[in-house]
Structure 1
């Protein structure tokens, strides 16, 4: 191999070596940071006290009873609406022939604003009609007596539900209801408010 070729290879090798050294020593600034986040869902927790709505016996047409119980928001989220679902069963305990009418049609329910002023009725209907309504229909039928529609039921707050039940005396023969027992169940469904920016 000639001197020119040897020198050429040497120069090329030196240039390659310098470029590798230069490339290997090239550096840049860098930094990193980590972020974390949590998502914790709130709770809706509606409680009623007492849980027994009413327990009366020996009713006759014309009798009535007023009851008050407290609805409490024990959750961490505000409740915007409370929807009421009504169900009941009627059992004849006297062994008399089956009724031709529904006992629930003769039990009038009055939602009151104040237990001391029973004439302040917000809404009234029979148990039969109340059972036929969907929760939305109930909500649209009357101003919710137990939750202020504008403020709802805020977390930690409570409100009273005041109800008067009357066995309506319709002036007609109601003998078929002797011995009847009506078992009532009310379910209160709490609904959250609209979402908001956090």
Structure 2
């Protein structure tokens, strides 16, 4: 066997030995850790009490109606906004109405008492008709006034806001006989929105 062959065989043997040592080392030095992780989504759950804010009979032009209600956040997540949308339908008793009764029912105010100051009310709605409220979406839990008193905008989990509202069947000083025995069905929808994403 020549010198080149002996040297080649020696290098091959050394490489094989190193690979066996390296392989053996890897086999004996090993560490494995396992984690079990979860992602649990929170809940948005808005409730209203009572579930019927107003149900009144035998009203006439000039009458006004005061009501109170409460919005409560029963979910695990804070609420940033509660958008109030208005819809209604009128049932004509056969008087061939030429006007919309919703134009004659006015919301004189809708106040969020929890967001109000000591002397300044926090008006979410101020003096507008049901007809004009259609197509708008005021935030019922927004603090619209500057005051040290009262809560900030939004509705934290487990808290509630109290509201005071006044409706009026407006007496416009003219003949409103076309509305006799008519009825108006009002739907107020309160749409809760989550807060912005944040680091957890």
> Aligned to 2:80, what secondary structure does the other structure show?
strand
Cα distance in 2 between the residues matched to 1:67 and 1:144: 21
* 2:106/2:127 contact within 8 Å kept: yes
Cα distance in 2 between the residues matched to 1:149 and 1:127: 28
Give the aligned partner of residue 65 of structure 1.
65
> Aligned to 1:43, what secondary structure does the other structure show?
coil
Within the alignment, does 1:155 sit opposite 2:157 as a pair? yes
Give the one of 101, 104, 107 matched to 2:105.
Answer: 107
Structure 1, gaps ≥5 residues long: none
Cα deviation, 1:48-89, whole Å, max 9, x if unaligned, reads 111112100101011111111110101111111111000000
TM-score when scaled to structure 1?
Answer: 0.78
Deviates more, 1:60-69 or 1:26-35: 26-35
* 1:78/1:153 contact within 8 Å kept: yes
* 2:68/2:165 contact within 8 Å kept: yes
Cα distance in 1 between the residues matched to 2:122 and 2:168: 13
* 1:48/1:70 contact within 8 Å kept: yes
Query: Which 4+ stretches in 1 moved above 4 angstroms?
Result: 7-19, 142-145
Within the alignment, does 1:128 sit opposite 2:147 as a pair? no
Give the aligned partner of residue 40 of structure 2.
40
The 1:22–1:48 alpha-carbon spacing in structure 2 relative to 1, beyond 3 Å, is: same
Q: Cα RMSD (Å) of the superposition?
A: 3.0
Displacement of 1:132 after TM fit? 3.4
> Aligned to 2:131, what secondary structure does the other structure show?
helix
Displacement of 1:170 after TM fit? 1.0
Cα deviation, 1:85-141, whole Å, max 9, x if unaligned, reads 000000013x222x1111011111121356xxxx958222111111132x2xx349x
Structure 2, gaps ≥5 residues long: 114-119
> Aligned to 1:47, what secondary structure does the other structure show?
strand
The 1:90–1:149 alpha-carbon spacing in structure 2 relative to 1, beyond 3 Å, is: farther
